[in-house]
Amino acid sequence: MISFQLTEEQKLAQSMVQELAISQLRPAARGADDREAIPSSILDEIWATGIIQSQGESGSYSPTLNALLLEELAVADAAFAIAAAAPIGFLGAVATQGSPAQKKNLLPLFAGDKYRCAGVAIMEPDFAFDVSSIRTSAIKTRDGYRLSGLKGLVPLAGSCSHFIVVAQCDGAADAFIVDRNTRGVTVGEKKPNIGLRALEMATVSFKDVELSSSARLGENAGCDAQRIVDSARTALSAIMTGTSRAVMEFVMPYTKERVVHGDALAKKQTIAFRLADMRIETDAMRWMTWKAASIIEQGGNATRQAHLAYTYCGENAMWIADEGVQMLGGHGYLRDNPVEMWYRDTRTVSVLEGAVGV
C-alpha cells in the first residue's frame, strides 16, 4: 500500500519551517525583491533551522524531507527557497558522491552558525535542457584537469565559496569542485531578471582553470552527474509547488470576500471550477515531486520521474500564477498584492533548470 503520511520527524521539521515562513520570511519577501538582495539576517534565519548544514551529517541527507521543506520555504518566497536549495544541492552532492577526503575537507566548512553559500553550476546560455549538450569542458592534463566554459543564472554567485561544475569530460558528463578563488574563475555582475530579483544571479566564467585530480567529484571513482541534474529538477519542482500553494491560498479567501454583481466571486461557477483545478494541480505537483525525491533517496534512476515532475510543475505553476493574477482583476497587477511577484518568480523558476538540488 502506498502512503503519503508524513513521519513525526517530517511533521516537526515542516512545522518549524512553516512558522519561520509565516513570521519572518513572508513579511521580508517584498522588501528583498525591491532591493534586489536578500538580507543577511534572513539568510541566517534560514540557516538557523539546520536544514542546510544537516546535509553533511551522517544519515541526515533526505531528498524527500528536503523537497517537503523547500515547498514550505517557497510558500513564503521562491527566492528564499532557492537561497536554501543552492547550498543544499552542493552539500548533498558532496555527501552522497564525494570521496572521503572531499567530505572531510568540505563538509566542516558549512558547520558554522552563519549562512554560507555554495552553488551547483549546470545551466549555460544555450543549455537547451539537455545535459549532453553542455559545452563546458574538462580536459585531462598531466596533473589533473583544465576546465573551460560559461555557466549562467547561478544563484547568489557572488557569495558562493565553491561551485560544483558539471562539464563534459572524455565524452561524458562529469562534475568538479571548484574554489571560487581559483585562478581563471570570474563571477560576473548580477543581472536584472523579471523575477527572483533578490537572488543576485550572475554568470560564472571558467577560463583555463587548472584543477588537481582531487577536484573531480568522487575523485577516481567519479560521480553520476545525471543524479545532480535530477536533484536540481526535483528541488525546483518542490519550489514551484510551494509558490503555487501561495497563490492558491491567497486568492481563495479573496474570491470568497470579493462581491461582484451581488455574489462572491467564489460562487461564480467558472471561478469555483478554476479554484478546484488549482487545488487538484497543486496536489498532483506535490505527489510527482515527492515520487522523484523518493527515488533519488532510495538510490534509483530518477531521471524520467524528475523530468516529468519538472515539466508538469513548470506548466501548471505558470497556469496557477496566471489564474491568480486574473482572479484579482486589476488588483492582480498592483504591487500592493504579492501575486504579481509570485507570477514573475514562477516564470523565472520554470526556466532555472540545473541551479539547485535536493
Q: 163 in helix, strand or coil?
A: strand
Residues 132 and 205 in one domain: yes
The domain in which residue 121 lies consists of: 117-221
Q: What are phi and psi of 188, to 5 degrees?
A: -75, 180
Whether residue 245 is found in the same domain as residue 336:
yes
Residue 126, domain CATH: 2.40.110.10
Give the residue carrying C-alpha cell 492558491. 248
Q: Give the per-residue pLDDT at 57.
A: 79
Give the residue among 108, 122, 117, 106 at the shortest CA–CA distance from 80. Answer: 117
Q: Is residue 213 part of a domain?
A: yes
Grid coordinates of 259: 462581491
pLDDT at 5: 84
Among 221, 247, 276, where does a domain finish? 221
pLDDT recorded at residue 58: 67
How open is the CA angle 6-78-118, to the nearest 5 degrees? 90
Q: Give the pLDDT of residue 181.
A: 97
Phi, psi torsion values for 142, nearest 5 degrees: -65, -35
- pLDDT recorded at residue 158: 95
Count of structural domains within the chain: 3
Q: Which of 87, 110, 133 is the last residue of a domain?
A: 110
Is residue 300, in this structure, part of any structural domain at all? yes
- Residue 350: helix, strand or coil by DSSP? coil
How far apart, in whole angstroms, are the C-alpha atoms of residue 173 and residue 331?
Answer: 47
Q: How many angstroms separate the CA atoms of 299 and 115, rounded?
A: 29
Distance spanning both ends of the chain, measured CA to CA: 26
Tens digits of pLDDT across the chain (358 residues): 456 789 999 999 999 999 999 999 999 999 999 999 999 999 999 999 999 998 877 678 899 999 999 999 999 999 999 999 999 999 999 999 999 999 999 999 999 899 999 999 998 887 555 566 789 999 999 999 999 999 988 999 999 999 999 999 999 999 999 999 999 999 999 888 899 999 999 999 999 999 999 999 999 999 999 999 999 999 999 999 999 999 999 999 988 877 777 777 777 888 899 999 999 999 999 999 999 999 999 999 999 999 999 999 999 999 999 999 999 887 767 787 899 999 999 999 988 775 565 6
- Whether residue 206 is found in the same domain as residue 301: no
Question: What pLDDT, on the 0 to 100 scale, is given for residue 129?
Answer: 54
For residue 356, being part of any structural domain is answered with no
**DSSP annotation string for 245-266:** HHHHHHHHHHHHH-EETTEEGG
Domain boundary among 221, 239, 262: 221
DSSP calls for 48-93: HTSTTGGGGSTTT--HHHHHHHHHHHHHH-HHHHHHHHHHHHHHHH
| pLDDT given for residue 1 in this prediction | 46
By 3-state DSSP, what share of the chain in percent is helix, strand and coil, each rounded to 5?
Answer: 60, 15, 25
User: Within 10 A of 66 (CB to CB), how many other CB atoms are there?
Assistant: 29
In a domain, 302, yes or no: yes
- Pairing verdict, β 263-264 and 259-260: antiparallel
Whether residues 230 and 216 fall in one domain: no
pLDDT at 276: 94
Do 285 and 307 belong to one domain? yes
φ/ψ of residue 128, rounded to 5: 60, 20
The answer to whether 74 and 241 are in contact (CB under 8 A) is yes
At 55 the pLDDT is 87
Q: Name which of 231, 251, 221, 227 is nearest 321 in CA terms.
A: 251
Q: Do residue 134 and residue 30 come from a single domain?
A: no
CATH number of the domain within which 98 lies? 1.10.540.10
Q: What is the pLDDT of residue 258?
A: 77
Q: How far apart, in Å, are the Cα atoms of 313 and each of 113, 167, 296?
A: 34, 27, 18
Same-domain check for residues 60 and 100: yes
Rounded to 5 degrees, φ, ψ at 151 are: -120, 140
Q: How many CB atoms lie within 10 A of CB 106?
A: 20
358 occurs within a structural domain: no
Residue 30, C-beta contacts closer than 8 angstroms, at least 6 positions apart: 335, 338, 341
Same domain, 238 and 279: yes
pTM (predicted TM-score)? 0.94
What are the cell numbers at 275?
479554484
Q: At what angle do helices 225-257 and 303-327 cross, to 10 degrees?
A: 20
